[in-house]
């Protein structure tokens, strides 16, 4: 009986240790890696330069020493984007006062989503441009970098990938590696994603 | 609230002395049940007067109920269905937008490699330019459709159904045009 009393709290401790171990494990670096001369090369996001809602240039330097959350949208999107933005706002609110993390939303409707339109959209969302950049640029460059993000952030590593208007939120680390993603239309998946953000922040 | 009059009745509450002076919850419940049974809608034909009243009530409520049932049966969900179908076509077409732009970028890159001294250069350049214009137009049409589309507040109205029918046709045409632009571009990339 005494042994039973001892076994119960010990097993609880063991279980808790295992659980915390899972949470503290570093997030994997996503994408197909190459090995060159014995070095593992992970896919990373290339250089970019876009214009945000405050007419400011947003490029890699903007995100230097930051982790950031990426998505692709357009203001007049009738179905997916409003759900993604609602969940994006939850991420924004949670990390609003954490200077280690930023957000970056690219508009794929470069003709209609002008800087003025993006500024108005940001005002309606009530977001700060220093924290959450809504950007526009050349159509090919936006779609091009979307392919870069989406070819890494995909369920099936062997699938071709590329931008697919799926409403994904993508987490990028300081070295421009994609570390996690979620379905931005699914509140529960976004909850799980925010735990991944916490894990990445903990390992930085 | 009195079931009979529909007016707020502050004179009677559980645990208080009510109309029957009993003053307990059981009596209150009984009183409320009595009120409920004697209310206009659920009145039982106990007396000749009530019977007469109920017959006139029936004259009023029966056609109303039947009309409501008929309305409920004949009101279809065409508008809702059309809206959902239009959105499905739109979402599928949006998935193709990524591929269409990819083909466009490959075409632009390939145009730069064309041999300008070749005999068929002019013909090929015209074909590439036409394919790129097709891609540009199909993409612009999608964005215009989305900018112009306004979800009707009342999906079941006749105007809404007509609007949604046009919107669905518009996005279906655009979706087909996007696929055609992709195929045209891919044919040149072979």
* Nearest CB to A139; choose among B90, B95, B101: B101
Measure in Å the smallest separation between the Cα of B151 and chain A Cα atoms.
Answer: 8
CB atoms within 10 A of CB A18: 9
Give the C-alpha distances (Å, rounded to integers) separating A11 from A2, A17, A24, A82, B55.
14, 10, 20, 45, 74
**Would residue A19 count as lying in a domain?**
no
Contacts of A48 (CB under 8 A, 6+ apart): A59, A60, A137, A141, A145
* Total count of domains within chain B: 1
**Would residue A151 count as lying in a domain?**
yes
**Would residue A183 count as lying in a domain?**
yes
**Would residue B160 count as lying in a domain?**
yes
pLDDT tens-digit readout, A10-61: 555 444 444 444 466 889 999 888 888 889 899 999 999 999 999 999 999 9
**Would residue B122 count as lying in a domain?**
yes
What gap in Å lies between CA A170 and CA A43, rounded to an integer?
14
Q: Model pTM? A: 0.74
Question: Range of A148's domain?
Answer: 34-203
A78, closest residue in chain B (CA to CA): B146
The token pair that represents B39 in the structure block: 């209310």
**Would residue B69 count as lying in a domain?**
no
pLDDT of residue A74: 92
Per-residue pLDDT of chain B (190 residues; tens, 9 = 90+): 444 444 444 433 433 444 444 445 445 444 544 444 444 444 444 545 555 555 666 666 666 666 655 555 555 688 999 999 999 999 999 999 999 999 999 999 999 999 999 999 999 999 999 999 999 999 999 999 999 999 998 888 889 999 999 999 999 999 999 999 999 999 999 8
* Total count of domains within chain A: 1
**Would residue A28 count as lying in a domain?**
no
**Would residue B137 count as lying in a domain?**
yes
Question: Range of B119's domain?
Answer: 78-189
B104 touches chain A (CB under 8 A): yes
**Would residue B70 count as lying in a domain?**
no
pLDDT tens-digit readout, A143-157: 999 999 998 887 776
**Would residue B121 count as lying in a domain?**
yes
**Would residue B34 count as lying in a domain?**
no
**Would residue B50 count as lying in a domain?**
no
Contacts of A90 (CB under 8 A, 6+ apart): A187, A190, A194
Angle of CA points A48, A54, A59, to nearest 5°: 15
């Amino acid at each position: 009986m005494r042994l039973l009393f001892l076994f119960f709290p010990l097993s609880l401790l063991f279980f808790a240790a295992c659980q915390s171990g899972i949470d503290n494990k570093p997030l994997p670096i996503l994408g197909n890696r190459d090995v060159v001369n014995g070095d593992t090369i992970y896919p990373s996001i290339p250089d970019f330069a876009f214009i945000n809602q405050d007419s400011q240039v947003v490029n890699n330097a903007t995100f230097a020493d930051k982790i950031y959350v990426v998505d692709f949208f357009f203001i007049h999107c009738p179905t997916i984007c409003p759900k993604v933005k609602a969940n994006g706002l939850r991420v924004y609110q949670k990390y609003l006062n954490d200077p280690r993390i930023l957000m970056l939303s690219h508009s794929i409707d470069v003709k209609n989503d002008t800087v003025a339109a993006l500024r108005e959209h940001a005002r309606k969302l009530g977001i700060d441009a220093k924290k959450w950049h809504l950007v526009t640029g050349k159509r090919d460059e936006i779609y091009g970098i979307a392919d870069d993000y989406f070819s890494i952030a995909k369920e099936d590593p062997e699938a071709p990938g590329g931008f697919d208007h799926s409403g994904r939120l993508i987490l990028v680390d300081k070295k421009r590696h994609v570390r996690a993603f979620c379905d931005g239309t699914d509140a529960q998946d976004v909850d799980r994603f925010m735990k991944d953000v916490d894990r990445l922040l903990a390992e930085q | 609230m009195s079931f009979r009059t529909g007016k707020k009745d502050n004179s009677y509450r559980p645990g208080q002395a009510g109309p029957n002076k009993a003053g307990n919850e059981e009596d209150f419940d009984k009183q409320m049940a009595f009120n409920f049974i004697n209310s206009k809608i659920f009145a039982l034909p106990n007396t000749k007067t009530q019977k007469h009243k109920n017959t006139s009530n029936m004259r009023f409520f029966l056609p109303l109920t039947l009309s409501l049932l008929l309305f409920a049966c004949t009101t279809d969900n065409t508008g809702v269905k059309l809206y959902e179908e239009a959105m499905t076509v739109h979402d599928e077409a949006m998935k193709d937008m990524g591929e269409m732009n990819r083909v466009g970028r490959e075409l632009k890159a390939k145009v730069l490699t064309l041999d300008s001294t070749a005999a068929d250069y002019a013909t090929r350049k015209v074909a590439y330019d036409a394919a790129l214009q097709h891609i540009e137009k199909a993409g612009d049409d999608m964005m215009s459709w989305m900018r112009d589309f306004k979800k009707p507040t009342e999906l079941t109205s006749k105007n809404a159904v007509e609007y949604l029918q046009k919107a669905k046709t518009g996005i279906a045409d655009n979706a087909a045009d996007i696929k055609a632009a992709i195929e045209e571009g891919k044919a040149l990339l072979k």
